[in-house]
Copies of this chain bind each other. A is one copy, B any other.
Amino acid sequence: MGEIRQAAVRNNLLRLVSAESFDAIAKHLEFLELPRGFELSEPHEEADYAYFPESGIASIVARSPQGQHAEIGIFGRDGMTPATVVLDAGTDPYSIFMQVQGEGYRVRASILKQMLDEDAAVRVLLGRYAQALSVQGAYTSLSNAVHHIDERLARWILMCHDRTDGDEISLTHEFLSIMLAVRRPSVTTALHMLEGRKLIYSERGMIIVRDRPALEQFANDAYGECEREYFRLIGPFS
């Protein structure tokens, strides 16, 4: 702790705060592994820590009273949790957990909160991130309503690819089916479809992007809007 160089950090939000703000927060940052399944936040519970992933992918899932669930958004080194901290909301009703393992920094939520009170620039940045996340949820909603499974799957693979270093994404069909709120066998067939078009390779527990431009073209209407909105609100990341 206390000797993290901002230039070496990969999390986009941590990179974008001013050097002064970064120094203020850096001494409280703790680096840790984020294994698959790691819970970053549980529904209706006040989070002890805020997490800023350096790698890996986290999933935000809403659950109905009867236990139905659907993913409303994902983030990796483009984001953080809990976004509610900047809105003084205390808790949110979501499960947030690591879906592709990675690493990241965490800081006590109380410390981050205090920083936000004192540092308007950081407050603005995280506020804009909260908006980007909300827009991501909105477009997930649209996609759930109007797009076919294979398009939604393509969208989802693209969104993961954006947040991953190579072309390999480590995921099971089972997991994908939860994320897309469809049956597991539907994922299998949809993946075969994408594989047949030579857009991806699919192996046991692994999806490999083979032709990203064609994949974007296939996802077509389902991909792009909320990425553009992130770019407008926060800026580029890669």
A residues at B contact (CB < 8 Å): 62-66, 68-70, 72, 84, 86-89, 92-94, 124, 127-128, 130-131, 133-135, 137-142, 144-147, 181, 220-222, 224-225, 229, 233
Contacts and interface: CB of A to CB of B under 8 A. Distances in A.
Contacts of A68: 142, 146-147, 221
Contacts of A66: 220-221
Q: How many copies of this kind of chain does the complex include?
A: 2
A144 to B, nearest CB: 4
B72 A131 contact: no
A145 B87 CA distance: 27
A89 B138 contact: no
Contacts of A88: 124, 127-128
B146 A87 contact: no
Contacts of A130: 87, 130-131, 134
Contact of A145 (B89, B128, B133, B144): B144
Contact of A141 (B63, B84, B144, B233): B144
A138 B137 contact: yes
A135 B135 CA distance: 11
A222 B142 contact: no
A122 to B, nearest CB: 12
A93 B92 CA distance: 23
B89 A131 contact: yes
20 contacts: A62-B142, A63-B142, A64-B139, A65-B221, A66-B221, A69-B146, A70-B142, A72-B138, A88-B124, A88-B127, A88-B128, A89-B127, A89-B233, A92-B131, A93-B229, A127-B127, A134-B134, A137-B137, A145-B181, A146-B181
Nearest to A73: B138
